[in-house]
Structure 1
Amino acid sequence: MAKVFSLAVLFYTPKYTKPRNALQATPCTHKTRHYFKCLASKQTSDSAIRQSANYKPTVWSFDFVQSLKDRPIDQGLKDKAKKMKEYVQRMITSEKTEILTVLELIDDIQRLGLGYNYQDEIREAVGRCVFWMMNNEGTTKSLRATALCFRLLRQHGYEVSQDIFKSFMDQPEACLTKDVKGMLALYEASYFAFEGEHLLVEARAFTSLHLNNLKEKFVSESLTEQVSHALELPLHHRIPRLESRWYIEAYSKRSDANKILLEYATLDFNMVQSTLQSDLKHMSRWWKGLDLANKLNFTRDRLMECFFWTVGMVFEPQYSDLRKGLTKVTSLITVMDDVYDVYGTLDELELFTDAVERWDIKAVQTLPDYMKICFLALYNTVNDMVYDTLKEHDEYILSYLTKAWTDMFKAFLQEKKWSLNKETPTFKDYLENGWMSVSGVAELERGETANSILCVMSETRVSEESARLEIRNLVEETWKKLNKHMADGDLPFLKPFAETVINLARIAECTYQNGDAHGAPDSKSKNRVFSLIIDPIY
């Protein structure tokens, strides 16, 4: 999945520049699209035992999505937004403002969702922070200022040392715990740790413990809300646009809120949301035309959830083509995952994997009926993306895309073989030994025998709780590696590409933090869609 996502991001990003280490692609002399339709509607009628995951139908009907009213922004509001944008720009670039005030402003601007409008200005302002820290101005006096500066520097690719926190960690515990804002800033900064940075690990444990005990302290309602929000999920792991929706409301409650900045953030959020709705309606028509949800009723119909993934990865209005491309990719991955994990037999899946690897339209003749429409949907969609990329960027990417899909399907196939050959404990074993909760067993009953939690449990015979802890530790170590890569000034990709990859990790954490919001969306996931895509801010 990651490879296919990465290629889509790379070639749909405006002003795409080929990575320095990219292989030379074979030029294509044909700039025409070839579409193949499959009219088969019945499934294979053989003696194979088919599983059913009993996925619930989508709650987002085609009619509902298409009923979303276009909310064009009139010229008066556009002119107003332009003036407010210039006003905020002057606030960032003013050299008369103290560095801490500028850093706090940048933090507010980014969390309000306006950072993409001021990338150059923010980069220059954050650069001033380096000199401030080198001169030790305030770094031994204000924990909050030091932690905020550290976080922004690491966020923008500076490999600043964790040692700047040594003087604070050596202070008496009572002094640190009195500074709630400082502890909160240090807590957020600790999530930008690299591998081996034990001081930041210690700082996270310390701040988490004391922030969780804030009930015993007298702090403002606004600060208490900020702390609860951070402890639920740190800022670094949150989807930027969902954070913006929450922060706009939280910022409005502050007595020191800048009214112009707040009004601009609200207007910008609604303007961006209007673009997202237009993209969604376009993809809804594409999905209905593909008709996979109707033809393959054993699969998940999750167009809205797939689109939500893409908004979590890249929300900026100029990336409409990227969101559409990624929505196609995620929708097809969801269907193909169900084909491999739930419905297909091993023999059928080997045929399908071979057909994709050959990328020969004649191979469709070897497939059972239900797989014919799968292959042709994939074939047409990928060729469509190849044509668009060739037209827009003069790059022929077919070999890269087909290899990415082939590698993914081979991985799916290996998972299938593992689940069929592994001596997996029975449902009774899991319950009687207390290894798994009732909700976990429900996953098994729907045919999921190869997810990460179950694999750890089956291989090590540990409890569900222990397996989840092990996976959580793996996730934390992976975040540290991502942090290090983001601070690598020699990355071969453009910054928007790298940021989108980080956002992929964030949307994955959001989706699976409290269950499976993709396969079995609940009320929380539905509310997230409404707040991000459907409901404007009034």
Structure 2
Amino acid sequence: MSSDKEVVYRPIRNDLTPSIWGDQFLVYHDEQENEAEMKEIVENLKQEVRKDILAALNNLKEHTKLLILIDAIKRLGISYYFEKDIDKALQQVYQTYGDEWTGNKPFIWFRLLRQHGFYVSCDFLKNYMNEKGDFIESLTNDVQSMLELYEASYMSVQGETLLDDALEFTRTHLQEIANDPLKRNSTVHTQIQQALKKPVQKRLPRLEALNYIPYYEQQDSHHESLLKLAKLGFNLLQSLHKKELSQILKWWGRFEATKKLPHVRDRAVECYFLALAAVFEPQYSRARVFLAKVIMMSMILDDTYDGYGTYEELEIFTEAIQRWSISCLDELPEYMKLTYQGFIDLYSEMEETMTNEGKAYHINYAKDLMKELTRAYLTEAKWANEGYVPAVEEHISITFITTCVYMMTATFFVGMDDDIVTEASFKWINTKPTLIKSVCAVARLLDDIITHKDEQQRMHVASLVESYMKQFNLTEEYVHGLLYKQVEDKWKDIARETLVCKDILPIPLINCVIGFARVAEALYTNKDNSSRMGKKMINIFKSLFVHPMSI
């Protein structure tokens, strides 16, 4: 360790601005004075909608209506009210029709079943093609169907050229409509623009609800009870999220990290958003709070390994994390003791809870993946210190780990109090499955494309962009295009793994993992990220945490 007399140069990040939120969310005010009454109304509305689901399910002639209802429930952000009903309905639809759907809205049928892990063939698309193998132009006369086909095409897996062609066909025609000045004020025009920017498959469900509720309200065919339920459900859940956020901020304040550790970003609200965005449902409150705290502790690690700590100090800290014992505290540099104690305390608290529930093994898997994360951070620090630009394969072997997706998945699984998480779920994570690898790829590629220029203004590990440029002698512009294409390919792998993993994991766990890819898509849009947010993300935060939905 460096002598106290030595002057150690410690570079400071250029984004260490105070939190833009101040103490705005520190104190939770229970604004729902009539919350008990609201919950009673919600229960009655749920029963109404549930009856409609069941009635449509039991009548073959109503199955198209059933799928339209399920799609609306999902996009309105309240599928957590009807998980069992939706699972039962889609299972029955799959068993009844297989690949041979006979109702209307075939593109919605295809997308919903694939999203829920049911493989249905895309060969039905040949019914919409001419003898030359091109999509029939009459499709362009029905804009809504074009949108539905466009969204369905994003459930493709590698090699499904029919869906690739459908995407190219619909995107071209929808872009023409989007550019038509005569249609710019229509509600469907807004839907087209949003779809072209980001399809439903890539959207965060909570943010989709924000956009879809007002659109749904404008539709003459909207289900009145469902609309009211969506608005009340949004507000009740917003209240819960604000309560969680207040709890987390008070914990963060007691920890005093930003006061005692001047190199650490004050991004507690943003860290909570990462947890909430991935999995927002009310039944996962405990898991979300634990995950948010771990993400905040991981941010301290990132800021410490990312240039502030000397390599010798980081080696000592990494070894201490591997040993995971309070006895290591005295061996650490003074400024690292607070962080290490924080990790010990946070995991010990959760371990006690898990032990009381007979699930002590949960926390051990989470610890192991946190240990792996610090080892990967240390490798990155070594590369940065030496100015080393690794080859692409070597790069991703480390930097996929430092996306934190493996660690966050295990952390979230720990806190879930459902019976859907078993030891097999954690063992699955440890196999480094294709689903998580694909999500890591989306996160790493988008991160490096957007942030690598800023990060190279200081001593920082080489980005994947630089590795490609050096190894293959490519221009930066070309590499950007290459990596964006890889992102699209990884989304196809995610779609495939949704089908493959359904027999291994329950859909809620699969959606949790996919949620981290959707977070990356949301953060790295318009060069927003969790460290520097533009106006768009600030407005999203206000919609999620400040402004309730108008009933």
What TM-score, normalized to structure 2? 0.81
Pick from 66, 70, 75: which aligns with 1:106?
70
Superposed, 1:347-366 pairs within 5 Å as 347-366=312-331
Residue 169 of structure 1 corresponds to 129
Pick from 1, 7, 25: which aligns with 1:65?
25
Q: Could you tell me whether the CA contact under 8 Å between 1:452 and 1:471 is conserved in 2?
A: no
Q: Deviations over 1:92-149 (max 9, x none)?
A: 111346222211111111111121111122123223433664484547xx6xx11110
CA distance in 1, matches of 2:48, 2:502: 34
Indicate how the Cα distance of structure 1 residues 438 and 212 shifts in structure 2: closer, same or farther if over 3 A, else same.
closer
Residue 168 of structure 2 corresponds to 205
Gaps of 5+ in 1: 1-42, 426-435
CA distance in 1, matches of 2:99, 2:323: 61
Say whether 1:294 aligns with 2:259: yes
Pick from 185, 190, 194: which aligns with 2:153?
190
Indicate how the Cα distance of structure 1 residues 356 and 109 shifts in structure 2: closer, same or farther if over 3 A, else same.
same
Residue 159 of structure 1 corresponds to 119
CA distance in 2, matches of 1:410, 1:208: 43
Of the structure 1 ranges 308-317 and 478-487, higher mean CA displacement relative to structure 2 is found in 478-487
The one-letter code of the counterpart of 1:319 is: Y
Say whether 1:509 aligns with 2:521: yes
Q: Deviations over 1:164-199 (max 9, x none)?
A: 212223355422222222221111111111222222
Of the structure 1 ranges 451-460 and 374-383, higher mean CA displacement relative to structure 2 is found in 451-460
Say whether 1:390 aligns with 2:355: yes
CA distance in 1, matches of 2:449, 2:497: 37
Identity of aligned residues (%): 32
Indicate how the Cα distance of structure 1 residues 299 and 452 shifts in structure 2: closer, same or farther if over 3 A, else same.
farther
Q: Could you tell me whether the CA contact under 8 Å between 1:237 and 1:509 is conserved in 2?
A: yes
| Alignment length (residue pairs) | 482
CA distance in 2, matches of 1:65, 1:135: 49
CA distance in 2, matches of 1:133, 1:175: 26
Of the structure 1 ranges 184-193 and 466-475, higher mean CA displacement relative to structure 2 is found in 466-475
What TM-score, normalized to structure 1? 0.83
Say whether 1:116 aligns with 2:76: no
The one-letter code of the counterpart of 2:516 is: L
Q: Deviations over 1:185-230 (max 9, x none)?
A: 1111111112222221222122111111113497681111111111
The offset of 1:292, in angstroms, is 1.0
Residue 75 of structure 1 corresponds to 36
Pick from 522, 534, 546: which aligns with 1:522?
534
The one-letter code of the counterpart of 2:62 is: E
The offset of 1:363, in angstroms, is 2.1
CA RMSD of aligned residues (A): 2.6
Q: Could you tell me whether the CA contact under 8 Å between 2:314 and 2:378 is conserved in 1?
A: yes
Pick from 216, 228, 232: which aligns with 1:267?
232
Residue 375 of structure 1 corresponds to 340
Pick from 463, 472, 476: which aligns with 2:484?
472
Pick from 208, 218, 233: which aligns with 1:243?
208
CA distance in 2, matches of 1:113, 1:398: 30
Q: Could you tell me whether the CA contact under 8 Å between 1:300 and 1:338 is conserved in 2?
A: yes
Indicate how the Cα distance of structure 1 residues 206 and 494 shifts in structure 2: closer, same or farther if over 3 A, else same.
same
SS of the residue 2:357 aligns to: helix
The one-letter code of the counterpart of 1:504 is: F
Q: Could you tell me whether the CA contact under 8 Å between 2:117 and 2:502 is conserved in 1?
A: no
Residue 20 of structure 1 corresponds to none
CA distance in 2, matches of 1:401, 1:123: 29
CA distance in 1, matches of 2:362, 2:151: 40
SS of the residue 1:196 aligns to: coil
CA distance in 2, matches of 1:211, 1:405: 45
The offset of 1:475, in angstroms, is 2.1
Q: Could you tell me whether the CA contact under 8 Å between 1:346 and 1:417 is conserved in 2?
A: yes
CA distance in 1, matches of 2:95, 2:385: 60
Indicate how the Cα distance of structure 1 residues 438 and 508 shifts in structure 2: closer, same or farther if over 3 A, else same.
closer
Gaps of 5+ in 2: 391-447
SS of the residue 2:164 aligns to: helix
Of the structure 1 ranges 198-207 and 221-230, higher mean CA displacement relative to structure 2 is found in 198-207
CA distance in 1, matches of 2:301, 2:455: 19
The one-letter code of the counterpart of 2:284 is: Y
Say whether 1:415 aligns with 2:375: no
Residue 47 of structure 1 corresponds to 7
Q: Deviations over 1:422-462 (max 9, x none)?
A: 4669xxxxxxxxxx999864332144443333443444443
SS of the residue 2:521 aligns to: helix
Poorly superposed stretches of 4+, deviation over 6 Å = 436-439
Q: Could you tell me whether the CA contact under 8 Å between 1:44 and 1:368 is conserved in 2?
A: no
Residue 231 of structure 1 corresponds to 196
Pick from 262, 268, 288: which aligns with 1:303?
268
CA distance in 2, matches of 1:381, 1:76: 36
CA distance in 2, matches of 1:135, 1:368: 63
Q: Deviations over 1:246-275 (max 9, x none)?
A: 111111222222222211110110011111
Q: Could you tell me whether the CA contact under 8 Å between 1:151 and 1:188 is conserved in 2?
A: yes
Q: Deviations over 1:477-503 (max 9, x none)?
A: 222222222213654333322211111
The one-letter code of the counterpart of 1:334 is: M
Q: Could you tell me whether the CA contact under 8 Å between 1:52 and 1:298 is conserved in 2?
A: yes
Greater length-normalized contact order (CA 8 Å, ≥ 6 residues apart)? 1
Of the structure 1 ranges 223-232 and 520-529, higher mean CA displacement relative to structure 2 is found in 520-529
SS of the residue 1:517 aligns to: coil
Say whether 1:283 aligns with 2:248: yes
The one-letter code of the counterpart of 2:537 is: S
CA distance in 2, matches of 1:273, 1:44: 49
The one-letter code of the counterpart of 1:151 is: R
Residue 93 of structure 1 corresponds to 54
Of the structure 1 ranges 224-233 and 365-374, higher mean CA displacement relative to structure 2 is found in 365-374
